[in-house]
Amino acid sequence: MATLYVRDVPSELYERLREEAASARRSLSAETIELLRRGLSARSGISLEQLIQDADRIRGKHALPPGSPPAADLIREDRDR
């Protein structure tokens, strides 16, 4: 496995990375690898149309029952408590 060294990381960026790693219960190295993996996957050439089709397919699997209140109404109700 290769080793990657990164120099001159701005303090604010390093702190944010450290916080993200802690919240995900990962080491700093593991979090960095995950972020690199996700960033490079996002650039893998998947078209916007394919993403929209995938989103529609997933949305169809998790459709709300007829007569369900809109999400905005539920959020507003929760805020008003």
Could you tell me the CA-to-CA distances from 42 to 23, 45, 64, 68 in Å, in that order?
22, 8, 29, 34
Average pLDDT for 19-37? 91
Residue 52 scores a pLDDT above 90: no
**Residue range 73-77: mean pLDDT, rounded:** 92
Q: What percent of the chain has pLDDT over 90?
A: 41
Output the pTM of the full model: 0.51
Domain borders along the chain are 11-62
Q: How much is the pLDDT for 44?
A: 66
